[in-house]
């Protein structure tokens, strides 16, 4: 590979990480027998106790997997590197944690997590499991205070899990656990500083560079660049800046007691973290605050990034007592007040079918009446064409994503499309069957935001043409509009947000407008509009997703989602056009 890393096959890294983690910490957690991407506390579920669940991308160890244990998280859903777990994994984690008193899902504010948690909660509600959610948004530099709902969740999530888990361990109701966890994250502020980037093994190079003698202030936890670049300062000056950023946003009155966490990002020597903390505590005390507990170490990392995050949580008497309660997990142990048991450990989780979104009414394509026509009975090979172009562009997509995001787009897309192609290899089936396989793989195995977005796009496309023998241009337009509706209903993006919608919306509109000129002309118009939509994102400022934190720094780079969407639509047009000529 050329990387100085302990890696076998990069595609197997997450599964091998989970396997080793469970073996090393088998006294505290176990793998869910029904889902290898879910780990469950050995102390869960407990009858009559509120379950505590989280989930997130790998690469942050000990987060998220390392906080399952006693009086903390009951179950954790695990995603690919820097990518949200699937909706199915979130749903299985909820089932595994359910002791009959409801489940609190406490997670970070990322597009993929928001989508997949929402779908999972809808799915388990049909089984009678009540779910309450709290979304962490403690990253000060990811959005202004006036738009705090847009902020990302970073290391403050750990305090949220600790407080929520303690409240549940004391027998709190779901409403009480939700309130305690929400109050905890509301009381948190975090900031990160990066000195060196990280490398996803499947990419092979850093997403971005940090020039010698500089640092990124407001660094993201997924390898995203910071909010601004500054000259490297001494540790004391960096610590002072971090305290100032947090305190300017927090506005805490003198005498407030706080809990403090200084976490390394993966490659920072622990002694340097203590150098930072020495100055941080001095700064906090100088601001009139009193440190009740401090946590210094690698609590929430980002592969091998060089850097550190500071999190400050304001304490009241209730939060202080909950923070001090006994807990044990691979990532965090607090020796404090003992917690009386709420109930006995139940025998195991409930199981039901896979996760689904609340369905929209998918339009059906009409019977083909025009010519030329696309014969659907042997058109599943179109999916193979789509997979080939995504796999071929894996590095390109990840490189684009890494410039303003976390660099995993090409990796995950190639893995999903590639697995779908493997399942369909050697088969000659219908187009709807092929699209359904692609949708299933993307939603059940890939996660992130692209998993559900493209998953529902292809699912609704498949439903629109199911049972049809052939499509003319009008029927193909119905299929495209169904896919667009699937994306629109699943996500919140609009044209101008610098997302795949900037490619998909104009492409579908262009196909519709060109139908009077014939099927081939409409396919060509779709591809042209897709390219123009992709190119339009270069000069846009990202308004959604991880790149939104960068503001003007996101300008000048094409959006990775729009780029993959363009590849899909161009290839779809070419593949259909070839089959039209053979019909």
Catalytic positions, please?
Answer: 222
Q: How far is the C-alpha of 317 from the C-alpha of 167, rounded, in Å? A: 13
Alpha-carbon torsion 520, 393, 544, 447, what sign?
A: positive
- Rounded to the nearest 10°, the torsion over CA 406, 411, 415, 418 is 140
- For 32, phi and psi rounded to 5 degrees? -65, 125
Q: How far is the C-alpha of 196 from the C-alpha of 164, rounded, in Å? A: 33
34: CB partners within 8 A, 6+ apart: 92, 349, 351
DSSP string computed for 54-66: EEEEESSTTTTGG
What token pair was written down for 341?
A: 């048991």
Closest CA to 57 of 404, 405, 400: 405
Instruction: Judge residue 429's burial from the number of C-beta atoms within 10 Å of its C-beta, 0-12 exposed, 13-18 middle, 19 or more buried.
Output: middle
What token pair was written down for 387?
A: 């997979």
Contact 132, 179 (CB under 8 A): no
What token pair was written down for 510?
A: 């262009």
Closest CA to 129 of 439, 342, 388, 355: 355
Which residues make beta-bridge pairs with 53? 75, 105
332: CB partners within 8 A, 6+ apart: 62, 66, 67, 72, 158, 162, 295, 299
Q: How far is the C-alpha of 364 from the C-alpha of 461, rounded, in Å? A: 9
Compute the residue count for the chain: 583
- DSSP-derived letter for residue 213 is T
Contact 86, 444 (CB under 8 A): yes
Closest CA to 538 of 580, 503, 505, 489: 503
573 alpha carbon, distance to own chain's centre: 30
- DSSP-derived letter for residue 266 is B
Q: How far is the C-alpha of 415 from the C-alpha of 445, rounded, in Å? A: 9
Q: How many separate helices (H) and strands (E) can be counted in the chain? A: 17, 16
């Amino acid at each position: 590979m050329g990387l100085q890393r302990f890696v076998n096959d990069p595609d197997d890294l997450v599964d091998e990480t989970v396997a080793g983690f469970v073996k090393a910490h088998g006294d505290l957690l176990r793998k869910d027998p029904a889902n290898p991407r879910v780990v469950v506390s050995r102390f869960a579920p407990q009858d009559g106790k509120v379950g505590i669940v989280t989930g997130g991308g790998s690469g942050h160890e000990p987060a998220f997997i390392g906080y399952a244990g006693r009086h903390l998280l009951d179950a954790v859903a695990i995603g690919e590197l820097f990518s949200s777990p699937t909706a199915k994994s979130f749903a299985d984690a909820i089932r595994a944690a359910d002791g009959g008193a409801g489940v609190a899902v406490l997670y970070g504010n990322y597009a993929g997590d928001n989508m997949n948690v929402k779908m999972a909660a809808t799915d388990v509600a049909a089984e009678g499991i009540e779910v309450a959610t709290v979304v962490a948004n403690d990253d000060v530099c990811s959005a202004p205070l006036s738009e705090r709902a847009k902020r990302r969740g970073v290391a403050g999530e750990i305090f949220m899990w600790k407080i929520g888990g303690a409240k549940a361990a004391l027998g709190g109701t779901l409403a009480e656990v939700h309130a305690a966890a929400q109050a905890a994250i509301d009381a948190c502020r975090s900031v990160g500083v990066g000195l060196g980037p990280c490398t996803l093994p499947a990419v092979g190079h850093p997403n971005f560079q940090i020039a010698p003698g500089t640092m990124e202030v407001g660094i993201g936890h997924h390898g995203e660049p910071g909010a601004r670049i500054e000259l490297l300062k001494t540790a004391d000056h960096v610590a002072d800046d971090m305290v100032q950023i947090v305190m300017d946003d927090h506005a805490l009155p003198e005498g407030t007691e706080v809990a403090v966490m200084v976490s390394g990002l993966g490659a920072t020597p622990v002694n340097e973290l203590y150098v930072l903390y020495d100055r941080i505590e001095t700064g906090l005390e100088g601001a009139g605050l009193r440190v009740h507990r401090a946590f210094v170490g690698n609590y929430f990392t980002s592969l091998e990034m060089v850097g550190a995050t500071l999190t400050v949580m304001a304490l009241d008497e209730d939060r202080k007592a909950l923070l001090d309660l006994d807990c044990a997990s691979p990532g965090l142990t607090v020796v404090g007040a003992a917690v009386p048991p709420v109930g006995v450990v139940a025998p195991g989780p409930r199981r039901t079918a896979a996760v689904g979104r609340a369905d929209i009414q998918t339009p059906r394509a009409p019977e083909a009446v025009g010519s030329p026509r696309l014969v659907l009975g042997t058109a599943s090979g179109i999916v193979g064409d789509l997979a080939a172009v995504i796999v071929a562009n894996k590095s390109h997509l990840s490189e684009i994503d890494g410039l303003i995001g976390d660099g995993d787009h090409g990796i995950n897309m190639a893995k999903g499309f590639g697995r779908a192609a493997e399942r369909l290899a050697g088969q000659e089936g219908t187009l709807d069957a092929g699209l359904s396989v692609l949708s299933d793989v993307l939603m059940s195995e890939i996660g992130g935001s692209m998993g559900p977005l493209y998953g529902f796009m292809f699912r609704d496309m498949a439903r629109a043409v199911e049972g049809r023998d052939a499509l003319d241009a009008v029927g193909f337009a119905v299929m495209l509009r169904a896919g667009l509706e699937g994306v629109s209903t699943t996500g919140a993006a609009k044209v101008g947000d610098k997302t795949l919608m900037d490619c998909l919306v104009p492409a579908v509109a262009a196909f519709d407008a060109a139908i009077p000129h014939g099927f081939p002309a409409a396919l060509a118009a779709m591809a042209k509009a897709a390219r123009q939509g992709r190119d339009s994102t270069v000069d846009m400022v990202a308004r959604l997703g991880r790149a939104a934190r960068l503001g003007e720094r996101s300008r000048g780079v094409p959006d990775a989602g729009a780029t993959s969407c363009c590849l899909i639509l161009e290839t779809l047009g070419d593949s259909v056009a070839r089959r039209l000529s053979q019909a």
